[in-house]
Amino acid sequence: MFELGVVKRNITRANSVAADQLGHFGASTVHEALGRVGLMQNYLRPIYSGARISGTAVTVLMHPGDNWMLHVVAEQIQPGDIVVAALTSPNTDGFFGDLLATSFQARGARGLVIDGGCRDVKDLTEMRFPVWCRAISSKGTIKATLGSVNIPVVCAGACVTPGDVIVADDDGVVVVPAAMAVATLDAASKREALEADKRAKLASGVLGLDMYNMREPLAKAGLRYVD
């Protein structure tokens, strides 16, 4: 599965409408719509607040302290892609900075999700090139060993197959399998439609206990009120 030294050029990207629109719902809603699976570990954090993106995954697997393959993956980026970078073991070096971001942006990438470190965060923030990473670090990397591009990877605890949809915002990063992108978009839309009504009720002072009819199941479960 994780063969090293291979670049796969042709990958099947998820439906582009779904890939584009899932981002509007954000990671939390999409994660619910998908059945509460596919979430990356929450140690990945955005380098700046407020970014919300979605797009199709191109993947790269690298060794600790070596970012050579980020140059290789750059060539495989198509407009609308998000690069997902996994490591063979945990490492927080600064694999990615403003030069690579310039290149990725020129190729049409919408952002980077990396299970490692990032640097030049001030420049990246000014460029509005969003990165979700596990650390910020000035520590540079070498270019000595091969990894692979566009193979399935595990990034921050989630399996990512090239072409899957990535949704990332302040709440985290969710992976939607390509085959489920359209159905998930549909489910997310329905969830959100319901939420507006719920929000209005709750704002008016109605309790979730009543709105969701929880009083009976709580009593059945044994909840007791005392003074």
Q: Are 117 and 134 in contact (CB under 8 A)?
A: yes
Q: Which stretch binds a second copy (CB under 8 A): 17-25, 143-151, 182-190?
A: 143-151
The sign of the dihedral angle between the CA atoms of 131, 136, 86, 150 is positive
**Nearby residues of 13 by Cβ (< 8 Å), 6 or more positions away:** 19, 56, 78, 80, 81, 163, 178
17, 78, 128, 209: which one contacts a second copy (CB under 8 A)? 209
Minimum distance, C-beta of residue 8 to a second copy, in the bound complex (Å):
6
Told to check if 190 binds a second copy by CB under 8 A, we report: no
Query: Which of positions 30-49 make contact with a second copy (CB under 8 A)?
Result: 30-32, 35-39, 41-42, 45, 49
Which member of 16, 154, 183, 192 binds a second copy (CB under 8 A)?
154
Q: How far is the CB of 192 from a second copy (least distance, A)?
A: 11
**55 binding a second copy? (CB under 8 A):** no
The tokens of 154 are what?
A: 């595990």
Q: Is 80 in the site for a second copy (CB under 8 A)?
A: no
Q: How far apart are CA 182 and CA 113, in angstroms?
A: 22
Size, binding site for a second copy by CB under 8 A: 100
Q: Quick one: which of 56, 28, 17, 46 has its CA closest to 188?
A: 28
158: Cα separation from own chain's centroid: 10
Residues between 82 and 121 that touch a second copy (CB under 8 A): 88-94, 97-100, 102-103, 105-107, 117, 119-121
Site for a second copy (CB under 8 A): which residue of 14, 18, 22, 74?
Answer: 74
3-state secondary structure of 206: coil
